[in-house]
Structure 1
Amino acid sequence: MIIRRTRLRVAQPKSAFAEGNARWTNLDLDPVPHHRRKWGALSFVAYWISDAFNSATWQFASSIIAVGLSWRESLAIVAISFFIISFVIAANGAVGAIYHIPFPVIARASWGFWGSYVAIISRVILAIFWFAIQNVNGGNAVRCMIGAIWPSFLTLKNDIPEDQGITTAGMVGYLIFFIVQFPFLCIHPNKVRWLFIAKSIIVPIAWLAILVWAFVAEGGGAMFNQKPTVSGSKYSWLFLANMTSVLGNYATLSVNQSDFSRYSRVSPKWQLLYIPMLPIVFTFISFIGIAASSAGQARYGGDIPWDPIVLISHWTSRACRFFAAFSFALASLGVNISANSISAANDLTALAPQYINLRRGQIICAMLSWCLVPWKILASAGSFLNFMSAYAIFLGPIGAIMLWDFWLVKQRKYDTLALYQPSNPTYRYSAWGINWRALAAFLVGVAPNLPVWVAVGVCRHEYRLYRSVALVPGAGELD
């Protein structure tokens, strides 16, 4: 059966932006009209609380403490890092809140129409990769939930080869999480904000309960008495390396904030709320992870249970195991949408707006995630996980170029209509549709870090600028 291409095309309503211009836009890439701007201040607060409460943030401090710093330094690193990146997030978010356009369209202003593909492709690769990894985290939480109801499930006969890095029980959990998550991928970002609001209420309550348990059960454990095991120049290098690692892990979200702020119905000044909020929220969650893991080691012995699912699995109360695991499954679901699927969908839509919209883009992202075989990556390819974590070196220059272009070069003024007209000389820059200055700046920013990026795939080095913090299997989030 031959499927006609016209049947696959996305509907193109008449507008000043989309009419006769299907190569560069569709309804989901057009500026958001006034009646579709549904996100208020509460929605953005819930969005970031939702994104912050995830397994990666829980384990941020683990890799920092593991290299020889104390819990105090680890929390200081998280706080300083998110204070710095909050300015980037707020500044990029303000652009979306002012012009109500997504990241791929904003990128045209600084990169040119064809040059913007450098930024778009760089981001979509990372978004799909972390979507796949986060599915494994969610699947592990579902496996723990099922095991709390039917303990025999955890001893289910394994028919999957050991070298695949997943058991039959793990695959069942992964598949259930994927199926439950799938309908949420079909919901428009304007409506999915209710998921973030629900998660921002349910998950913090559950994690606060875990924090209370940590101090009631073991007084927080012995880790709070731990001193740094390094000093001098090594201490300074480790502090800097870990700080830039935390920054690198949120490079994607610092770039894609406009994908959500474009739906704002409040003043762009509300984006400034992130500057005090993000350091406080992320530092507090890292503190919960330290306290709970330390208490877990004191009570159950053995290695420190940095992975929250491992910690929960030790609990004797099946009800507590179920609801705690549910909170982590919900955390994975929320962050997979807020940080990964919608970002990938916007990028895929920009690559082929005639055939892809946000809904199709999220579905394509979900299907491609299977091709990455993420459970095997987590189980047997730690160096590749570090390699992809360090991939953020590409997004740092991209975000800097876009910030510099809007706030300084263009003096906070964009011609919105010209961003959808490739024939308009305003953002064409050259006959090739590429801003060569942006490309040169990008190469200058990336080139010094390329040897480091390649090295991450084969070895670890304490002085590496973008060393991954995702040292614990399942800790990685992004995007």
Structure 2
Amino acid sequence: MEIRDPSPGLYNEDLAPAKVRNWGSFSIFNVWTSDVHSLWGYYLAASLFLLCGSFTNFLLAIGLSSLVIFFLMNLIGYAGEKTGVPYPVLARASFGVWGANLAALVRAVVACFWYGAQTAAASGAVVALLIRSDSMLAFHKSTQVLGHSGLEVICYVLIWALQLLIIQKGMETVRRFQDWAGPAVWIAMLILAIGLCVKAGGFSFDHGIPMDVLLAKTKDAGVSGEPGSFWALMAVGATWITYFAALYLNFCDFSRYARDKDAVKKGNLWGLPVNLIAFSLVAGITTIAAFKVYGEVLLHPEQISAKFDSWLLALIAALTFAVATLGINVVANFVSAAFDISNVFPRQISFKKGGYIAAAIALALYPFAPWEGNAAHFVNAIGATMGPLLGVILVDYYLVAKRNVNVAALYQEHGEYRYEGGWNVNALVAAGIGSVFSTFLPNFTSVLPSWWNTYGWFFGVAIGGGVYLVMATLRPRHAIAPVRA
């Protein structure tokens, strides 16, 4: 739709409702192949596989949690398809035209952390390839810069810069990139799995990893009970769901370009439960085969490719994993941060400039490497910060506004979404209370039990959304006109 006379502080061409909606189910599907098929996605799936204790438990936990992910993505995806607006603009309906900046900046900061984590993973795959050379290995061991080896720093900066080239021509370039990158990664993953199974002499669902090895590898996961227990499986499902916490918020950045609701649903169906289960299955098979071949648990695919005898196979694996990680970084992190930062200063910062700022922050974070350590801990800590925001937005859209959004008013400073001076106090209080229980108490105090961290995102969604519903009942908003497209 055409926005007439928008407030300058709330509008630019990148934040406007999508004018061209040509993304079919295949493009939506490839949002998920780009998002899931990464080194971090593989690393997390392989780590969770160890907690399950058996292949059957793994497929059960991942399968059920993938259905939950599918359901949640449809909820936010349908809102994006109906309104045609990106996440920070949609957030104006619940947080207010200025309050949405707070929700946008929280998502942007998370994107910067993930941007750095994924870039580090991709550069690690290149490092693993290069150190097969004796001279590169010597350089890797002898040169230290900013707490990392000189080779790691060089590869990180190169991968970091390469990502900026992909985004130069906007979202259509992103779509074309993900449409070929996702399937290419699937081919490489299958080759890796089949090759290892052949080398191992076949495949068996009895993974053969001794319990003492599983316990040693999962001792820092913060899960009560040994691998395969009920609570371990619950933690696996919770962590897998929380892994997508960032995209629950900004999937509308992509679904806004969908042709219709059916394209979103079909793309999500094939891209989420079907693709997630298949990808996790391959990750589990590869982990088992690698243990049989090399006698050790290798959770990182670049660790496996580094052991290949063939330079050519190692090169193909390294490049494919790097491309896969570029895909998720562009889709899940660059795009979100670009829209979020642009939303705060729309007159000064465009989509591209917002992305460059996020990339610069990720580069500044590299010396500190906050993403290093336990995968589940990082995922749950980062994901918990976004739970209350999602709870407020979903409750507002589906239960309070009844899916009616006045799109034009999202761009009006003195329109329906001004609330109290541009801020919806109901949403701010609800998100604040939710954050106390999802983020601050579990991460910065010992008041809550240690297992709380695993489910922080869930507590954030439930408490934030529940408090908002109560406050919206006690302090009701004005009636909202139906969406005008």
Q: 1:71 to 1:461 in 2, by over 3 A?
A: farther
- 1:80 matched to 2:67: no
**2:323 paired residue number:** 330
* Structure 1 residue aligned with 2:53: 69
| Corresponding position of 1:286 | 280
Partner of 1:49: 33
Offset at residue 387 of structure 1 (A) = 5.5
Structure 2 residue runs without a partner (length 5+): 216-223, 458-485
Check 1:182–1:223 CA distance in 2 against 1; reply closer, same or farther (3 A cut): farther
Counterpart check, 1:392 vs 2:377: no
- 1:230-270 Cα offsets, whole Å, 9 max, x none, are 97999222222222222111111111011111122x11132
The one of 174, 189, 194 equivalent to 1:192 is 174
Following the alignment from structure 2 to structure 1, what is the Cα–Cα distance between the partners of residues 368 and 189?
26
1:217-366 to 2 correspondence within 5 Å? 217-218=199-200, 219-220=202-203, 224-225=207-208, 235-264=229-258, 266-273=259-266, 274-275=268-269, 277-301=271-295, 303-366=296-359
2:3 aligned with 1:16: yes
Displacement of 1:310: 0.7
CA contact (8 A) 2:166 2:173 kept: no
Report the CA distance between 1:368 and its aligned residue. Answer: 1.3
Moved more, 58-67 or 131-140: 58-67
Q: Aligned-pair distance for 1:407?
A: 2.1
Please give the alpha-carbon distance, in whole angstroms, between the structure 1 residues aligned to 2:136 and 2:142: 14
User: Does structure 1 retain, via aligned residues, the 8 Å contact 2:18–2:84?
Assistant: yes
Q: Distance in 1 between matches of 2:449 and 2:354?
A: 35
CA pair 293-190 structure 1, distance change in 2 beyond 3 A:
same
- Structure 2 CA distance for partners of 1:384 and 1:310, relative to 1, 3 Å: closer
Correspondence for 1:30: 16
Q: Distance in 2 between matches of 1:401 and 1:443?
A: 11
Query: What letter matches 2:46 in structure 1?
Result: S
Alignment of 1:439-458 (within 5 A): 439-449=428-438, 450-454=440-444
Residue of 148, 159, 163 corresponding to 1:177: 159
Q: Does 1:154 align with 2:137?
A: yes
Q: Alpha-carbon deviation of 1:137?
A: 0.9
Which residue is equivalent to 2:472? Answer: none
The 5 A counterparts of 1:453-472 are 453-454=443-444, 461-462=450-451, 464-466=453-455
TM-score, length basis structure 2: 0.83
3-state SS of 1:316 partner: coil
Q: Which amino acid aligns with 2:329?
A: N
Cα distance between partner residues in 1 of 2:79 and 2:326: 27
Mapped contact 1:78–1:246 kept (Cα < 8 A)? yes
Deviation at 1:335, TM superposition (A): 0.4
Letter aligned with residue 92 of structure 2: R
Contact 1:132–1:374 under 8 Å retained in 2: no
Per mean C-alpha deviation after superposition, the further-off stretch among 444-453 and 109-118 is: 444-453
Provide, for residues 90-110 of structure 1, a one-character-per-residue CA deviation record: whole Å limited to 9, x for no partner: 111111111211001100111
The alpha-carbon deviation at position 288 of structure 1 amounts to: 1.6
Match of 1:423 among 405, 409, 414: 414
For 2:158 and 2:138, locate their aligned partners in 1 and report how far apart those are by CA, in whole Å. 18
Letter matched to residue 444 of structure 2: V
CA deviation after TM superposition for structure 1 residue 171, in Å: 2.0
Comparing 179-188 and 24-33, the one that deviates more = 179-188
Q: CA deviation at 1:441?
A: 2.6
1:402, CA displacement in angstroms?
Answer: 1.5
Q: Among 355, 370, 382, which residue is 1:377 paired with?
A: 370
Distance in 2, Cα, partners of 1:179 & 1:231: 43
CA shift digits 1:39-88 (9 cap, x unpaired): 22221112212212112221233333444633332332222222102111
2:461 matched to which residue of 1?
none
CA distance, structure 2, for counterparts of residue 168 and residue 355 of structure 1: 36
Deviations for 1:118-163, whole angstroms, at most 9, x for unmatched residues? 3112111100111011111111122234456x5632332545438x
**1:136 maps onto 2:117 in alignment:** no
Distance 1:239 1:126 in 2: 26
CA distance in 1, matches of 2:315, 2:382: 35
The gaps in structure 1 that reach 5 residues or longer are: 1-14, 469-479
SS in 2 for 1:465: helix
Assess if the C-alpha contact under 8 Å between 2:163 and 2:330 holds in 1.
no
Greater mean alpha carbon deviation, residues 66-75 or residues 409-418:
66-75
C-alpha distance in structure 2 between counterparts of 1:463 and 1:411, whole Å: 32
The farther-off stretch of 387-396 and 74-83 is 387-396
The CA deviation string for residues 430-472 of structure 1, in whole angstroms up to 9 with x for no partner, is 2x2222222233234333333223359x99945643389xxxx
Q: Report the CA distance shift for 1:412/1:340 in structure 2 as closer, same or farther (over 3 A).
A: same
Secondary structure at 1:377 match in 2: coil
Partner letter of residue 47 of structure 2? S
Distance 1:147 1:467, change over 3 A: farther
Alpha-carbon distance change, 45 to 157 in structure 1, aligned in 2, over 3 angstroms: closer
- Amino acid of the residue matched to residue 286 of structure 2? A
User: What residue is the counterpart of 2:103 in the other structure?
Assistant: 119
Give 2:401's aligned residue.
410
How much does 1:38 deviate? 3.0
- Percent of aligned pairs with the same amino acid: 26
